Amino acid sequence: MGRERVYQLLQERRGKFFSGQEISKRLGISRAAVWKSIDLLRRDGYVIDARTGLGYRLSAAPDVLVEREIRRFLQPDTVCPDLRCLEEVDSTNSYLKREALQGAPHKTIATANLQTAGRGRRERSFVSPPGKGVYLSILLRPQLPPQSLLGATGMAAVAVCNAVERTAGIRPGIKWTNDLVLNGKKLCGILTELSVEGETGMAESLIIGAGVNVSHQAEDFGPEVAYIATSLAAEGYPVSLAALAAAMIEEFYHLSDALGGDLSGWVDAYRKDCVTLGKQVQLLWTSQQEEAEALDIDSQFGLIVRLPDGSERAVRTGEVSVRGMCGYLA
């Protein structure tokens, strides 16, 4: 596409002028095609100056989740063959579930500017207003038995913590099992969904999705969650959407490469980040609730708790939810 090629040239000399004649010659396209590409880029939100005798200069880019911007922040050695940047979707996880059935390959990435039906654990809704957060999922085809993927959610939490720290300069905590928190409020939700091949019993696909609140303000959350939710900007840590998305992609790739191997380093990182440990919590079973003290994280990212009778046990995501004694966290 002419627009993408013109963008790449302007990006190479960002802040400096590039004559229309030189662009035309370098790309082998007409001056009219150059002008049309510049016009299309401006419509996409790029600020491109034009000066007689000097040419064109890219002076500012929009902070949006489009492929060209995300790829700009990827490390040179990062290969991302299938990056799908959607303007609107029900949810990035649901989209990749459908695409997996159509044969989408390993490490396919989907992002969205807007999710109309963002989901969390137990089909809870996830607030996903347009242009406010990074809503991103990855499709993995790990070729492993399901039991070896029990730690995927915990690993994903560590991966997103790494990405936030890389781009925003602050490391969130983890509320067991799949929420990232900042200053006691929810910053990010993570959802992992596994599909198993019926005949072999092996994992057919593993989809990991994360929604990070980047520039939300209180009014963006709605009254039912505003008291427990926050964003990076609200806490004083503004960050580029595209930069954070690129970091998340790279951290999810690291996660993918680690599946099925020694996860002790991931467990140690999770344990260090977990803000649930040392707190009194409520274990919310299907038909009852029980108080306990959160003690440790085991090798499969289970939460080890001490019950009122003094006994200890590990609880797993899927069988119990954990809530602070006085509310969301504490």
The pLDDT tens digits of the residues spanning 4-18 come to: 999 999 998 888 999
What is the pLDDT, as a whole number, of residue 225?
82
The chain-wide mean pLDDT, for the chain, equals: 91
pLDDT in tens, 205-239: 999 999 999 999 888 887 778 889 999 999 999 99
Average pLDDT over residues 297-313: 95
Instruction: Pinpoint the alpha helices (H) of the chain.
Output: 2-12, 20-27, 31-43, 67-73, 92-101, 152-168, 218-221, 241-258, 264-273
Give the integer Cα–Cα distance in Å for 140 and 136. 13
pLDDT recorded at residue 128:
74
Q: Which residue ranges make up each domain of the chain?
A: 2-60, 67-273, 280-324
Sign, CA dihedral 236-240-243-244, equals positive
Describe the strand order of the beta sheet including 185-196 as a list of residue ranges. Answer: 83-89, 108-115, 133-140, 203-213, 185-196, 179-182, 173-175
**pLDDT, tens digit, for every residue of 112-143?**
999 987 665 545 555 677 889 999 999 999 99
Q: 2-60 has which CATH code?
A: 1.10.10.10
183 alpha carbon, distance to own chain's centre: 20
Structure tokens at 205: 């696909």
pLDDT in tens, 59-118: 999 999 999 999 999 999 999 999 999 999 999 999 999 999 999 999 999 999 999 876
Q: Which residues pair with 173 in a beta bridge?
A: 181
pLDDT tens per residue, range 171-206: 999 999 999 999 999 999 999 999 999 889 999 999
Question: What integer pLDDT is reported at residue 329 of this predicted model?
Answer: 62
The predicted pLDDT at position 285 comes to 76
The rounded percent of the chain whose pLDDT value lies above 70 is 93
| pLDDT at residue 187, as a whole number | 96
- The CATH label, of 3.40.50.300, 3.30.930.10, 1.10.1060.10, 3.40.50.1100, for the domain at 67-273 is 3.30.930.10
Task: Write the pLDDT tens digit of every residue in 271-303.
Answer: 999 999 999 998 887 677 889 999 999 999 999
Say if residues 57 and 63 touch (Cβ distance below 8 Å).
no
Nearest to 121 by CA among 225, 253, 209, 232: 209
* 134 burial via Cβ count (<10 Å: 0-12, 13-18, 19+): buried
> Does 327 have pLDDT greater than 60?
no
The hierarchical CATH code for the domain 280-324 is: 2.30.30.100
